[in-house]
A and B are shown apart, each in its own frame.
Chain A
Amino acid sequence: MLICKGINKTYSQKILSDFNLNVDPGEIVALLGPSGSGKSTLLKIICGLERLDSGEIIFNGQNLENILPEKRGIGMVFQKLALFPHLNVNGNIKFGLPQESNISEISIMLNLLGLKGFEKRKIQTLSGGEAQRVALARSLIAKPKMILLDEPFSSLDTDIKIILAEEVKILLKKLNISAIYVTHDLSIANKIADRVVYLDSKKNDKLNK
């Protein structure tokens, strides 16, 4: 489904060097690596927020090079969630709703994530876990073919983290959405992913052949 071929990216120093990755339809891949290993950069390259220096990204048989982020059909949940502060829960989720979709899908999504009754809550009043769910709901309602998760649970307590990770895995499987989950926490990676890939700028050549 997603094929990353020979990706290179350099800022002031080399971040990604000849990186390769395959993700199958419905598969959840965890990308594991220390901070500064280029995990977040890779996600931004895949969804089009960063340009790559060389290499190719093929998604559903299509080269993504000249496709704008908003046209790629790839969703992302940011580390700091990036919920819109001027909109309430309903407004945030509605932002992701495609134009042709029915408005009732919002309440279905709210139910699915256990957010029923939260519609009119201000973003600022949500707990960490609730905010994660809203961010996830907002990404999922856009019906992406793939979703990228950039350590979205990093700020939570370990217990909640594990519960949420399991929930997310079940949800993604149910909706048959493939995902890349970036983390530096092996236990979470094992919990959520079908496959764990190690990313380290020095080692990634060997590990991902």
Chain B
Amino acid sequence: MKFKMITVLIWSILVIGPPIIAWRQLSIVAEKNIFETIIEFDNKFQTRDSIEFTFLVASYSTILTLILGVPLAWNLGRYKWRYGTFLRSLFTVPFVMPSILVAMGFLSLLDWFEVLFGINDSQNLRFYLLLLSHAWFNLALVVRLCEPILSTIDSSYEESAFLLPMGNSKFKRFKNLWLPLLWPNILASASLTFIFSFTSFALVKFIVPTKRNLEIVMSNQAEWAGIDIPALGQTPSEIILASSSIQLLTIIIALAISSKLQSKSFGHQLSSLDDKRIDVSFFSKRGLYIITMLILIILPLISLILSSFLIRNGGSISWTTKGWSAAFGGTHSPTNMYQALYSSIKYATISIMISLPIGFMLSDIINQLERKDSILAVILDIVVMLPLALSAVMVGLGVLVGIIRTDPEIARSWWIPIYGHIMITTPFVVRVLLPAMRNLDPDLEFSAALLGAGYFKRLIKIKIPILTHSIIVSSSLVFAISLGEFGSSWVVLRFTEFTTLPVMIGDILSRPGFDPLVRSAANAAGSTLLLMTLILFICVEKFRPVGSGGDF
């Protein structure tokens, strides 16, 4: 038990410590408190309209995600498709895709729009593209949360609805049966989509570079924040103080709503094993819809790969592998792709080695506290989810202002880049493992104890083997998220040895592109990241037992 208390304590310090130190440092430099900075927020150019823009993008993205996602979940859940399992997992690919390569994929689409349809790029088009990219990213959330209810609901519900006046038309059935059943899940996926769109960084940075959401505002001011030197001024610290507070508050509210709604879900009460879903062929109206959605999912990815072989010199286009050799040779970047690949794999592996045990331990503790109906379970759950609420850029700022600025000698420590990865991936481990542990019969562990097995034997011989599937799923999630991590790594110092693939891409993209190879090199690095994520995804699909829904 002592052992567990220490884990909780260390985690809490790691999560809460840096932001609190950072906030303190920022308010010292700013010589203002949080409320004063918030009041003055909108009368500076750096922050003007950013709150409005952040909320606008998050809300519109959420609506668009639901418009695209709910019908998709319906069609996947209510009908039986050939290769159904594979199809469903394909629609979840976007969620694990690194955001920076999604941004590049969508940007490269702009090109084809122009070449094929003569649609010219404009600020408005960029805005719609941003919303679409958010929907693309979060589609998986809607499918994962709503589809299981639709596919496992007992057919007698619908049959009995047919016979009643409340359900004798399509519309009435939707209004009186499906909507009441689905709304907690729809709203839960909506609030998660809202959070992810609210804290979107790479997509906003690259797709709408003239606009700023709160994440961009913070990352813009990061390099001067928390430093007490007259020539650097107080404004950057003020701005970060205000933006981070507004963002944190909003996200905590949205997280609370989503967890409340998820506990209201009817998901597990309705499940029936008889499968009466209707067979549908791909050569039908519904099939056409599914195929269109599939194309939407795949399009930006294919476009990115194509663009990596494309060079535009003046008005002419040529196909070449020069972008790839530039990326591997490091001729257009401070690191070459071998180094970046090595770092990416290194940090993703280390993240698994650290996040997985910590996440396992935390889930175990939360699970045990839940069994005792302890209020501590709820508190700990919030502490675990906090890094998610803090957003990637804020985690990075916590490291930069809260750790490195307090003790610069730490800056080069090997754990500095790892810290961000751990903070960002561990909540996902808990989200996967905790439900699995809740389903685990506590008597299994009790009986092992009474047979003389100590804590570690029980862990290794009972718990881990039974949870193997969830452990593999969460490990791959950690690996994928860590591979794609951009926000926090970007804000924190970018040492050569800390440079992962996404950071390398960001580096290349921030250079002047006079040389047309620059863009191709960035696209090649993006394609490499894409291929790595896909390989990982395929490996996990091989491990996933047939018929098991995703835990995430």
Instruction: Write the residues of chain A forming the contact surface with B, with a CB cutoff of 8 angstroms.
Output: 44, 47, 49, 68-72, 74-76, 78, 80, 82, 84-86, 95-96, 98, 138-139, 142
Q: In the complex, what residues of B have CB within 8 A of residue A95's CB?
A: 448, 451, 453, 461
Between A and B, 23 residue pairs with Cβ closer than 8 Å are: A44-B446, A68-B449, A68-B454, A69-B446, A69-B449, A70-B449, A70-B452, A70-B454, A72-B450, A74-B450, A75-B450, A76-B446, A78-B447, A80-B441, A80-B443, A82-B446, A86-B466, A86-B468, A95-B461, A96-B451, A96-B452, A138-B447, A138-B451
Q: In the complex, what residues of A have CB within 8 A of residue B447's CB?
A: 76, 78, 82, 138
Q: Does B532 contact A (CB under 8 A)?
A: no
B451 with A75: CB separation less than 8 A: yes
Instruction: Write the residues of chain B forming the contact surface with A, with a CB cutoff of 8 angstroms.
Output: 441, 443-444, 446-454, 461-462, 465-466, 468
B452 with A82: CB separation less than 8 A: no
Chain B contact residues: over half helix, strand or loop, or mixed?
helix
- Of the candidates A47, A85, A98, the one whose C-beta lies within 8 Å of that of B450 is A47
Q: In the complex, what residues of A have CB within 8 A of residue B466's CB?
A: 84-86
Taking CB as reference atom, which chain B residue is nearest A143?
B452
* Nearest CB on B from A47, distance (A): 6
* Nearest CB on B from A103, distance (A): 16
Q: In the complex, what residues of A have CB within 8 A of residue B448's CB?
A: 84, 95
A49 with B449: CB separation less than 8 A: yes
Total residue contacts A-B, CB cutoff 8 A: 56
Evaluate whether A142 and B446 lie within 8 angstroms (CB atoms) in the complex, with A84-B462, A86-B465 already known. Answer: no
* Nearest CB on B from A82, distance (A): 4
Q: In the complex, what residues of B have CB within 8 A of residue A85's CB?
A: 466
* Nearest CB on B from A160, distance (A): 22
B461 with A70: CB separation less than 8 A: no
Q: In the complex, what residues of B have CB within 8 A of residue A44's CB?
A: 446
- Of the candidates A68, A80, A86, A139, the one whose C-beta lies within 8 Å of that of B451 is A139
B443 with A82: CB separation less than 8 A: yes
Q: In the complex, what residues of A have CB within 8 A of residue B451's CB?
A: 70, 75, 95-96, 138-139, 142
B444 with A82: CB separation less than 8 A: yes
The answer for the CA separation of A25 and B23 in the assembled complex, in Å, is 66
A49 with B446: CB separation less than 8 A: yes
Evaluate whether A78 and B465 lie within 8 angstroms (CB atoms) in the complex, with A95-B451, A139-B451 already known. Answer: no
Q: In the complex, what residues of A have CB within 8 A of residue B443's CB?
A: 78, 80, 82
Q: In the complex, what residues of B have CB within 8 A of residue A86's CB?
A: 465-466, 468
Q: In the complex, what residues of B have CB within 8 A of residue A49's CB?
A: 446, 449-450
The answer for the CA separation of A56 and B462 in the assembled complex, in Å, is 31
B452 with A98: CB separation less than 8 A: yes
* Nearest CB on B from A31, distance (A): 18
Q: In the complex, what residues of A have CB within 8 A of residue B450's CB?
A: 47, 49, 69-70, 72, 74-76, 139, 142
Given A78-B443, A78-B446, list of 9 further CB < 8 A pairs?
A: A69-B446, A70-B450, A74-B450, A80-B443, A82-B447, A84-B462, A95-B448, A96-B451, A139-B450
Taking CB as reference atom, which chain B residue is nearest A47?
B450
Taking CB as reference atom, which chain B residue is nearest A99?
B452
Q: In the complex, what residues of A have CB within 8 A of residue B453's CB?
A: 70, 95
The answer for the CA separation of A139 and B448 in the assembled complex, in Å, is 10
Taking CB as reference atom, which chain A residue is nearest B453?
A70
The answer for the CA separation of A200 and B268 in the assembled complex, in Å, is 36
Taking CB as reference atom, which chain A residue is nearest B444?
A82
The answer for the CA separation of A66 and B18 in the assembled complex, in Å, is 39
The answer for the CA separation of A80 and B452 in the assembled complex, in Å, is 19
In this complex, the member of B443, B444, B446, B451 whose beta carbon has the largest number of chain A beta carbons within 10 angstroms is B451
* Nearest CB on B from A159, distance (A): 27
The answer for the CA separation of A80 and B442 in the assembled complex, in Å, is 11
* Nearest CB on B from A115, distance (A): 17
- Of the candidates B444, B452, B468, the one whose C-beta lies within 8 Å of that of A84 is B444
Q: In the complex, what residues of B have CB within 8 A of residue A98's CB?
A: 452
A142 with B444: CB separation less than 8 A: no
Taking CB as reference atom, which chain B residue is nearest A79?
B443
